[in-house]
Structure 1
Amino acid sequence: MIVFDLECRAAGHRFEGWFSTNDDYERQRAAGMLSCPVCGADDVAKAVMAPNVGRKGNQLPEPARATPQASAPIPVASSVPPLPPEAVAMLRAVALAQAEAIKSSRWVGDRFADQARAMHYGERDHEPIHGQATPAEARELIEEGVPVAPLLIPVVPPDQAN
């Protein structure tokens, strides 16, 4: 397989094309089978590209040189762009509000669905609670009209906290 950088002459969009041989590229170009994936223009030609020359089999890569390590962590490249400052501030505010709400509520553990349902149907007094529910239990509560909301930040059960 040969990979060519191609360019539409109409708008200058660059893209790759994979061909079995150079003759295959020429045949497809002459037949009008090539088009720009961005704008659809059919005036496509090879673009200038750097060749991919592999290392000779008898050459070893240069050994890595020892460099002093800094104590700061190495940033990890991510394809996810950073959040805008407004979104970060909003998430921080929601997390703080959640933390305050948890301080004034009672942990009921895996009995959350039963306790919330009992309060909803008047079988016990209302009070702020938090706990754990399976996805199926949460769906059932919502379908019954029980006012529940997932927590933004997961909560560690008190018996598992450090």
Structure 2
Amino acid sequence: MALKVFDLQCESGHVFEGWFASHEDYDQQVAKGWLSCPVCDSKTITKKLSAPRLNLRHASAAEAAPAKVDVATIQAKLLQQLKQVIKNTDDVGDNFAQEARKMHEGESPERAIRGSATVEEYQSLREEGIAVLPIPEFLDEDKLN
């Protein structure tokens, strides 16, 4: 079976791949709100112009079988890593953008921080050369212990 591989982009400009059975499958998943950006969880997704690609599964015995992906294990490992990030960072709340700038400019000591920022603030920080990465807000610090 051939899968269609599309380059997708969210409203914030994050680019990622999506694999679909057909163009109609993609359209249906977008219409039902099943697609979201893996970086910022935006549901506003569009297809980027790209060369068509197909992921072909060959049934030939001479070829090695593809490795099975255990999604639950991957999700558990990702969640564990996010918990570590949260435990090892200072929560600066809504002052994230300001504190990141202070550290970048040497006005505040360098340390790992986390907090809240708007999409515009994240974009502005990146344009200023400050490396930032949004992480999901669904993780409750009190439940990490």
Question: Which has the higher relative contact order, 1 or 2, with Cα contacts under 8 A spaced 6 or more apart?
Answer: 2
Higher Rg of the two aligned structures: 1
- TM (norm. structure 2) is 0.46
Q: TM-score, normalised to structure 1's length?
A: 0.42
